[in-house]
Structure 1
């Protein structure tokens, strides 16, 4: 939970993460030529990933055909890695385009991949306004890179 205590840096965290080569520290899971995959620092559930273009653009319409293609290719690779590492029962995959749609980062378009398990919803998000994520970002990064033990539910 050290990432919560850290002071917030200005600018786009995705752009900062993609410029850096410290992939584990920045939660970069996969890199492509035009897009990359990062761990969500404020996950809906353990294993929540974001796929984004390396170029800072706000809308899908601004993406080049090569970026759109790689966005989907990295999404497929990410789902495969998550399936092998965490063995979820399903996935939610989608985009929140604009603040009205729930985008917390509205200036750098990105796609969410959220692993799901049967019965994984509970009272915590509703009553406690708290999400329970039973895996640290560091442990998840290691699992997605073939280190550590697979999780079973």
Structure 2
């Protein structure tokens, strides 16, 4: 009578990669590392952000222009508006790419840079300079991305209302996670970001 084969129990001990070597031309030794298949794939932490799904799928459709609503409501966390001038305002990005990501935009509903008056354009550019100084003072970044997507074809999410993106950047702050998973891990909440900017702008 044939004996039944029993499955070998997997060892609970951690396995370490084994090194092997082979000689190649010239007498040099080529080393290779063999990773045990039993320890791959490795366990990974998972960050769940279901609130971003509605935004990614464009299911959140606010009534009217969100920037115009912010202009009407004034400086408050509800509107995410943190600073205003005669013609411009600074608003936190609700879904920031990095901590300190803000938008600088004209208060008037306008989607064409060439249709701004001289006074509006000058005030907007001055507000950009002031905001850059605020970001440098608050976050001390290695650099800042400053960009305007002019028109829907150029990538503007709200093409009807001009808005400059200002994003603090640090060396090594971008990796595979935001590129592949379209998710960014931030070190502070929107409330904390708002309070930092509000405290700065109150001084000027």
TM-score class, shorter: 0.7 to 0.9
Gaps in structure 2 of 5+ consecutive residues: 1-48, 55-59
- The answer to which structure has the higher helix fraction is 1
Instruction: Give 1:42-61 correspondences, 5 Å limit.
Output: 42-61=95-114
Counterpart among 83, 92, 111 of residue 164 in structure 2:
111
Higher relative contact order (CA 8 A, sep 6+): 1
Counterpart among 65, 74, 78 of residue 131 in structure 2:
78
- By how many angstroms is 1:8 displaced? 4.4
Gaps in structure 1 of 5+ consecutive residues: 148-153
Does residue 16 (structure 1) correspond to residue 81 (structure 2)? The answer is no
- TM-score when normalising by structure 1: 0.87
Q: Kindly tell me the number of residue pairs found equivalent between the two proteins.
A: 146
* Ranges of 4+ aligned residues in structure 1 off by more than 6 Å: none
- TM-score when normalising by structure 2: 0.66
Q: Higher Cα Rg: structure 1 or 2?
A: 2
* Maintained 8 Å contact 1:30/1:74: no
SS in structure 1 at match of 2:199:
coil
Instruction: Give 1:1-153 correspondences, 5 Å limit.
Output: 8-146=61-199
